[in-house]
Amino acid sequence: MYDPFHEVLSDVRGTILKQARALDRPVIGVMPAYFPLELVYASGGFPVQLWGNRLAPSRADAYLQSYCCSVARSAMELELAGGADMVRGYAFTSLCDTLVNLREVYRRVVDKPTVELSIPVTQTAEARRNYLSSGLDKVNRGLQEMAGGRMTPESLAEASELYGRVRALQRRLYALRLERAGLVSNLDFYAVLKAGSFLGPEYYAKLLSDLLEKLDSMDPPEDSGPRLLLSGLVYDPLELHRILDRLGVRVVQDDFANGWRTVSKETLAVENLVEGVARYLFGPAPCCCLYNPENDRHDYLVDHARKAGADGVLFWYLKFCEPDAFDRPQLMKRLTDEGIPSSVVELELSMQNFDAIGTRLSAFCEMLEG
């Protein structure tokens, strides 16, 4: 049932090349996070999301410090090692200092065009719209030059419908996992999500619909194992989900930037694109990288965990993501105050040995069950 998704992940490069040929669109690499894929697609490109990979950095070390996050270092390694030769250009956001600087490094070292969607850091929704209205045209022009297409109201509406449909289907998968905990293994669940980063939206939507149809008629296994909510930037490395499966953990919800924080975004409203992009970026889930005084992350996480009936929260910390690290102590304290146990695991995307983390997780699960 999950083979098509795992096959994508076992040959990402082959998948991207095949999909780009079928779509007859140039591949545009989209860096984390929250860059609306709709804009790339409406400009004639095939957006492929690059949230990092398992490559151990070596060439990238010549340009990035060893304390840069795994996402940035592994993406740079992929480019320098020639693994991203099919990528015509890159779309960045200004999500964090690392990404802003990474784009500058790419501009000097990589002979490919880049665009950057600057995410506003302002007090009000109105200021956000004002800020975006001055930069969005430039981003769209850059995307069209890169992808070679023309963004029209029709192409925007088509892209918005396609990616809106994909996220709605992913939300159904999240809802099924919550209602029937254990029905989908943790590894399969995140493989299904991740495969979507490398597939055309129409093809991926069809795979998702077929999967959901099969899952709809299935019952979950008997209750067992603690219910966890995972929180972090990216749900990789997937190997860790295999360990959670082995421990009998049922992940019932997440708060990943490339998980629920993205999947929960509604269809991009394109009639007023500035307004639509502002709403897309800032809603509905808060993020350590988005400044939005109207959406408190502490309240949100407590509420999110309670609604999911989570026994505990596991922080999935990717070294050395500063925004995530800065938020965590206060979040953990608030969870403790609310009687929700939490723990943290520190990860690298390229890590191979999970023994110590497995032991730590096992102890956390015993504590939750005890």
The residues binding ligand SF4 (CB under 6 A) are 32, 69, 71-72, 95-96, 98-99, 233, 289, 318, 321-324
Q: Which is nearer to ligand SF4, 211 or 289 (CB)?
A: 289
d(CA 279, CA 268): 8
At closest approach, how far in Å is the CB of 223 from ligand SF4?
34
Q: Which is nearer to ligand SF4, 139 or 318 (CB)?
A: 318
Q: Which is nearer to ligand SF4, 116 or 324 (CB)?
A: 324
At closest approach, how far in Å is the CB of 99 from ligand SF4?
5
* Alpha-helical runs (H) found in the chain: 3-10, 12-23, 37-42, 70-80, 97-109, 125-147, 153-179, 186-195, 201-216, 239-246, 260-263, 273-282, 297-307, 322-337, 355-369
3-state secondary structure of 151: coil
Q: Which is nearer to ligand SF4, 31 or 308 (CB)?
A: 31
Torsion of CA 256, 257, 262, 268, to 10 degrees: 160
At closest approach, how far in Å is the CB of 257 from ligand SF4?
7
Q: Which is nearer to ligand SF4, 20 or 64 (CB)?
A: 64
d(CA 311, CA 335): 11
Q: Which is nearer to ligand SF4, 5 or 63 (CB)?
A: 63
Reported as half-sphere exposure (CB side, CA atoms, 13 A), residue 91 has a value of 32
d(CA 160, CA 117): 18
Taken in order 321, 323, 326, 329, the sign of the CA dihedral is negative
At closest approach, how far in Å is the CB of 366 from ligand SF4?
30
Q: Which is nearer to ligand SF4, 5 or 35 (CB)?
A: 35
At closest approach, how far in Å is the CB of 318 from ligand SF4?
5
Residue 347 pairs in a beta bridge with 318
Q: Which is nearer to ligand SF4, 209 or 330 (CB)?
A: 330
Q: 184 with 177: CB under 8 angstroms?
A: yes
Residue 297 pairs in a beta bridge with none
- The DSSP-derived string for 310-369 is -SEEEEEEETT-HHHHHHHHHHHHHHHHTT--EEEEEE-TT----HHHHHHHHHHHHHHH
At closest approach, how far in Å is the CB of 346 from ligand SF4?
13
At closest approach, how far in Å is the CB of 69 from ligand SF4?
3
Taken in order 186, 72, 163, 21, the sign of the CA dihedral is negative
At closest approach, how far in Å is the CB of 77 from ligand SF4?
14
